[in-house]
Structure 1
Amino acid sequence: METSTTNKVAVSVVLPSYNELANIKEAIDRISATLGDQLLEIIIVDDDSPDETWKLVEELNHPKVQLIRRIHEKGLASALKTGVESAQGDVIVWLDCDLGIPPEEINNLVNQLDEYDVAIGSRFVSGGSDSRARWTTLFSHGFNIFARLLLGSQVRDYTSGFIAVKKEVLTRTTINPVGFGQYFIEFAYRCYKNGYRIIEIGYAYGDRKGGVSKSTDSVVTFFILGVSYIRKVLELKLRG
């Protein structure tokens, strides 16, 4: 399915946030510097962080930052869905705000949307890398091979969490608000099934700058997430 080209686009960036006090200001500054006058808004969806990330965002009073503070709702996928539904840009980008994904890579994705509908930042294509612990990287790579073979698409990083999407794509392909990273597996697969033009662009994934990871803070947590991701792939394969 083809959609219109981007040329000079207004970009909305969605950042889900939970206990990101150590990173949030730098994330805002680097995103603003990277996108310049193309930046329409940064939407920060904060799940009432105990470290008061939301309070710092309020104090910064950045003219292009919109804060959505959620008191009674939690979760990465639902936070992203909330932010994406609020976004007004021609192009919507989302990524973690822990700076493991360099904000400077955003333009590399946005610039692809003259020819494509969806641009995924990938650790597993040319130019991509992952500097986390080797066991983490090996598991991620193995899972993505499994997902690609089972689902039949050419997507190589189903667990990226870094993406630029034309707004009109989101009218047919929505975010499942349940769970953690399972939403991205399903979203990328639905984009493929709906016929959208997808490209993956390599980027170097690094360790978070500050704070504690929500997914790799222990082997047990990582294993539990891995099992849930495998279940999601099997579910998509069965449902089609």
Structure 2
Amino acid sequence: MTQTHRTNGTLVVIPTYNERENLAEIAARVLRSTPDVDVLVVDDNSPDGTGALASALASGHDRMHVLHRAGKEGIGAAYRAGFAWGLERGYERFVEMDADGSHQPEQLRGILHALDGADVALGSRWVDGGSVQNWPLRRAVLSRGGSLYARIALGLPFRDITGGYRAFTAFALETIGYEKIVSQGYCFQIDMLWHAHTAGLRIAEVPITFIERVHGESKMSGGIVREAILRVGLWGIMGLPARLRGVTPLEYRPSTREHHVARV
């Protein structure tokens, strides 16, 4: 159960599956560059021993924690588990971060600063000041094309809709109903943002530099891409009548806070 009183702490949730080569460095960089955050590694029983390494790194460290899961269920399920773990312990802010080094911990402060005036902050590769490094043309085209497709299908105004470097307030996660978001991969990120936008949450985009991983293999697969294409297309068709009428397609969740969309 979510605690009524929160500590205003920030929890960086890092899902892992076979990231032993990357985890120690990325965890150290997070803890070093942002001293006022905690790290939660959510490991899906990695065969390469990532979970054991995470436990060793967290041993005796009061800012690093590990959540061991029974098996590989996908990034969406890992984030839901991490969010639930943090909400139960009173954290107020949550960060999604990849374990492979593609998200720069040194840029986390900028994302958290944007969250001072927003409910959701998106680390964006495709706004002014954002960039990608060491990506083949195919990956860049796929990413830009995926964001464009989702923008058109769902009527979203943001530039980087599929990015995975993000921050949410606890209020945002509860308003979105994160525990009901069952999509995976690209689609999980789109689904979370779509729910945040249609709920009227304040959303900011912050430029980031995305650097392709050096060690290990990407978890991106054809199945993940197909899921995103099919789900987004279906959501777009279902929500089109409501958008044409100017009606929010999701049920409005009332709160005492003023909601509007913000861009930085």
Determine which of 183, 192, 195 is the counterpart of 2:188.
183
Partner residue in 1 for 2:22: 23
Normalized against structure 2, the TM-score is what?
0.81
| Contact 1:45-1:70 at 8 Å conserved across structures | yes
**Can you list the C-alpha shifts for 1:130-185, whole angstroms capped at 9, x where unaligned?**
22111110121122112112211212111101111111111121331343221110
Q: How does 1:98-113 map to 2 (within 5 A)?
A: 98-113=100-115
Normalized against structure 1, the TM-score is what?
0.88
* CA RMSD across the alignment: 1.6
Instruction: State the shift of 1:9 in Å.
Output: 4.5
Secondary structure in structure 1 of the residue aligned to 2:215 = coil
**Partners of 1:224 and 1:212 in 2: how far apart?**
16
**Partners of 1:58 and 1:142 in 2: how far apart?**
39
Rg larger in structure: 2
Give the AA of the match of 2:152: L
Q: Percent identity?
A: 28
Partner residue in 1 for 2:246: none
**Partners of 2:177 and 2:189 in 1: how far apart?**
10
Q: How does 1:39-188 map to 2 (within 5 A)?
A: 39=37, 41-60=38-57, 61=59, 62-72=61-71, 74-87=73-86, 88-131=90-133, 132-175=135-178, 176-188=181-193
| Contact 1:186-1:232 at 8 Å conserved across structures | no
Matched, 1:208 2:213: yes
Partner residue in 1 for 2:228: 229
Structure 1 gaps, min length 5: 1-7, 216-220
Secondary structure in structure 1 of the residue aligned to 2:20 = coil
Give the AA of the match of 2:211: G
| Contact 1:77-1:181 at 8 Å conserved across structures | no
Alignment: residue pair count = 225
**Can you list the C-alpha shifts for 1:84-133, whole angstroms capped at 9, x where unaligned?**
11113211111111011111111111001221111000111111112211
Instruction: State the shift of 1:73 in Å.
Output: 5.2
Instruction: State the shift of 1:83 in Å.
Output: 0.4
**Partners of 2:46 and 2:31 in 1: how far apart?**
23
**Partners of 1:32 and 1:72 in 2: how far apart?**
27
